[in-house]
Amino acid sequence: MSSNPAVSVNNNEFERDIRQHEYELDNSEAQEVPVEVAPESAQEEYEEQQSFADTQRQTHKTRPVFLFMGPLIASLVLFSMIGVLVRVHLTKLFTYADQPIYGLIWAQMLGCFIMGIAMRTKGVLMSLSPAVDVGITTGLCGSITTFSSWQLEIYQQFFNTRRANHTRFKNFLGGMSVLATTIACSTGALRLGQMIGDEVRLLCNYYLRRWMSEYDNPLSRIDTKMLGGKPVDARDSWLGWNKWHLVDSILVTAGILSLVAACLVVALALSTRSVSIALLLGPVGTLIRWRLASLNSVHPRLDRIFSKRIPALHLPFGTFIANVIGSVVLAIIHILQTGAVVRPSAASCYVLVAMADGFCGCLTTISTFAAELNVLRPRIAMLYAALSVVVAQTPFLLIAGIYFKTAFVDYPVC
């Protein structure tokens, strides 16, 4: 019995239609599965990050100022008070008869050394809290070191205020020795701290990658450029931090307790009153210096107008202004301590010494000065160093130098 050709053709077409339908169903199911598409280029990825950062900024604009400023101010106060204590007692420790080098240089070296470590371990500090990074660099290192007292030491060597049996040429050599040794030792200590900081950062990264995944590793999720910020807008410097961390709460508590303790010491311990008053005045100078740090950034409008014709536009004016103001105030204090204007009482001497060690010591800094010399171009760094020293010496020469030469008064009694 022969088969019908027409029926066979129809069956083949029917089977082919069924297979085509099944194939289309399989493809449609595969297309319904969501597929994550990677960015086509690095530019798109960068734009996504910028969009996220803008969203975070708009979110943080509505948050209270204290949420951002509280831990930062508390950190500056706490570490500033620690820095004052370290500088005062370290200077006393290395000040003795026939000392080979002036005692303040050890505090300068220590502050620059810690600054070098902090510069290389910024990501580690930021992973704890941005307030920790600002507190250690601006608060601790800036308060351990002091620019104004360094300038006073140079002035005293130039004018031989200690009345040593020297010629004028030996006085000049003494001033130049203090100038050169401080710059050399401070920059050397900063570089040593950077070398150790590199090893500390590598060690932290090694163990964190060993114990944590890439997602859980805090250092892999910290953008130090974005979180570093500037003190102009504290909210922008806290991008990515929606609430206080445990470290922030500890800093706020410790900052309040340190202020209360300093007030109690001023009221109860008379023998250490100058140091305790300096602890209260030191944070004021630190906060002023921190606010002036906003002037250290390059001004885009001036840079576009003048291009590279005026190198001075690239100088860190914030640190420069803070160091000059502190030097002017210390020159006035240096005159008041003689008793030529008004005979200082015991209480006045406490306040004058506290102003010199606390306010002026924390308003001015060598650690930031040395760090800026390290990152500036050589010619601009030399210009910045020379300008800072010359301008800071001017108030001592004009205020203190001329006054002592014309008034014929004795040197400081406080």
Q: Which two tokens stand for residue 80?
A: 């500033």
Q: What is the pLDDT of residue 87?
A: 95
| Each residue's pLDDT tens digit, 143-179 | 999 999 999 999 988 888 777 788 889 889 989 999 9
Q: Give the Cα separation of 411 and 403 in Å (integer).
A: 11
Q: What is the pLDDT of residue 256?
A: 93
Q: Is the pLDDT of residue 78 over 60?
A: yes
Q: Give the Cα separation of 235 and 176 in Å (integer).
A: 44
Q: What is the DSSP letter of 140?
A: I
Domain segments of the chain as ranges: 63-407
| Confidence tier at 47 by pLDDT (50, 70, 90) | low
CA 65 to chain centroid, in Å, comes to 21
299-306 contact pairs (CB < 8 A, 24+)? none
> Helix H segments across 33-139?
42-60, 65-93, 104-120, 122-128, 130-134
Q: Give the Cα separation of 294 and 109 in Å (integer).
A: 25
The model's pTM: 0.76
Asked whether the beta carbons of 331 and 400 are under 8 A apart, the reply is yes
Q: What is the pLDDT of residue 246?
A: 84
Q: Give the Cα separation of 403 and 276 in Å (integer).
A: 30
Q: What is the pLDDT of residue 65?
A: 52
Query: How long, in residues, is the chain?
Result: 414
What is the rounded average pLDDT of the residues 254-283? 88
Q: What is the pLDDT of residue 335?
A: 84
b (16+ CB within 10 A) / e for 85-105: bbbbebbeebeeeeeeebebb
What is the rounded average pLDDT of the residues 234-259? 71
